[in-house]
Amino acid sequence: MSITRRSLIATSAALALAASAGSAIAQQAKEVKLGYALAVNSHYGAAAQAWADSVEKGTSGAFKFKQFPSSALGGERELIEGLQLGTVEAVIVSTGALSNFVPDVGVVDIPFLFRDTQHARAVLDGAFGQELLGKFRARGLIALAWGEQGFRHLTNNKHAVQKVDDLKGLKIRVTENPVHITAFKTLGASPTPMSWPEVIGALQQGTIDGQENPISVLASAKLWQVQKHLTLTSHVYAPVALIVSPSFWGGLSDAQKASFTQGAKVGALASRAFVDAVEKKGVEEAKGHGMQVVTNVDQAAFRTALEPAYKQYAAKFGQKTLDAIAAVK
């Protein structure tokens, strides 16, 4: 074989190898870091997996989600800040921390605002909820869908809470949310804002007496290990938001943006399905682990006690807004 022919063969082989390497690089999936506060076997985890599966399939493997559950990337405030900084691509977070970034979100945290789960979902899936998602952009966040935690209930280690007076002086962990803080102060409790990763330790040490969360959180976090009493107050409906980073979003094509949006909606529905399944089962599980459960709560008495807070909420968010939410069928 001549030197020229050997050179041609070697050159062709090198070009083929380079082309193959380039193809492999082109096909390599782009990593999407997805952070959330609770364990994988929670409503957050259900939403995360459904979102990931939908996007990975819809983009033919162009993206690969890497999940960071159980506050592995920090508490919810840190996750939201990570989105703004571009250090994390996607998060699933509660409205507890969000109202510090998007103040208008606080309206959905008003106690007894929603009649029931169906009413809450109708509001968030309707014009009001979609307009609220749009307000995230001005705060450096791209919110794609509303998922769900369910209605929040009260737990504590002191005594059974059956009436408003039973809350007097109880140190209750609340989210870093002005609406929640105002509500519990008005009811006579001592609200203690705290990031979720600190809560279990604070309950164990007696730094706080109790906390309030949906049954979905109680079950996934096994709160019966650190709490004795559960009162089914259903005082606040708790949604979650599925959000992506603006810097990440800006690098997506229109088709990819559509896949991420559709995937977020699929994830939101998965969180709702998880909550539906766990609501009754979680209460029975709590009883089975020795929690004392109060079911007969006089919500009308709680609403009456909250009247001073409602005046503050109306001044902050507008009575017309509250009336519009109440009018949704």
The 10s digit of each residue's pLDDT in 152-202 is: 999 999 999 999 999 999 999 999 899 999 999 999 999 999 999 999 999
CB environment 166-185: b (16+ within 10 A), e (fewer): bbeebbbbbbbbbbbebbbe
In this structure, is residue 6 part of a structural domain?
Answer: no
DSSP per residue over 132-184, as a string?
A: HHHTTGGGT-EEEEEEEEEEEEEEESS----SGGGGTT-EEEE-S-HHHHHHH
Residue 14 has pLDDT above 80, yes or no: no
User: Does residue 12 form part of some domain?
Assistant: no
Spell out the residues 6+ positions from residue 56 whose beta carbon is closer than 8 angstroms to its own: 29, 63, 64, 65
Cβ atoms of 232 and 296 closer than 8 Å = no
pLDDT in tens, 250-269: 999 999 999 999 999 999 99
- Interatomic CA distance for residues 49 and 114, integer angstroms: 28
Q: Is residue 4 part of a domain?
A: no
Range 226-239 average pLDDT: 97
pLDDT of residue 21: 40
Is the per-residue pLDDT at 68 higher than 80? yes
Question: 42 or 18, which is more confident?
Answer: 42
Percentage, residues of the chain above pLDDT 70: 92
Residue 283 lies in a domain: yes
Q: Given a cut of 90, is residue 76 above it in pLDDT?
A: yes
pLDDT at 2 over 90: no
Provide DSSP, 231-283: EEEEEEEEEEEEEE-HHHHTTS-HHHHHHHHHHHHHHHHHHHHHHHHHHHHHH
pLDDT tens-place string over residues 101-148: 999 999 999 999 999 999 999 999 999 999 999 999 999 999 999 999
CATH of the domain at 281: 3.40.190.170
Residue span of the structural domain in which 183 resides: 29-327
For residue 177, give the nearest of 238, 251, 120, 91 by alpha carbon. Answer: 238
The total number of structural domains in the chain stands at: 1
DSSP state, residue 101 = T
pLDDT for the residue numbered 3 = 45
What is the arithmetic mean of pLDDT over 81-93?
97
Give residue 96's pLDDT band: very low, low, confident or very high (50, 70, 90).
confident
In a domain, 21, yes or no: no
pLDDT over threshold 60, residue 209: yes
Distant-in-sequence, close-in-space partners of 34: CB < 8 Å, separation ≥ 6: 48, 51, 52, 65, 66, 67, 68, 88, 89, 90, 91, 92
Q: Is residue 17 part of a domain?
A: no
Does residue 134 lie in a domain region?
yes
Arithmetic mean of pLDDT over the chain: 92
Backbone angles phi, psi at 224, to 5 degrees: -65, -15
On whether residue 1 sits in a domain, the answer given is no
Angle of the 307-317 helix axis to the 319-327 helix axis, nearest 10: 100
Q: What is the DSSP letter of 29?
A: P
Each residue's pLDDT tens digit, 273-309: 999 999 889 999 999 999 999 999 999 999 999 999 9
Q: CA-CA distance, 220 to 214, in Å (whole number)? A: 10
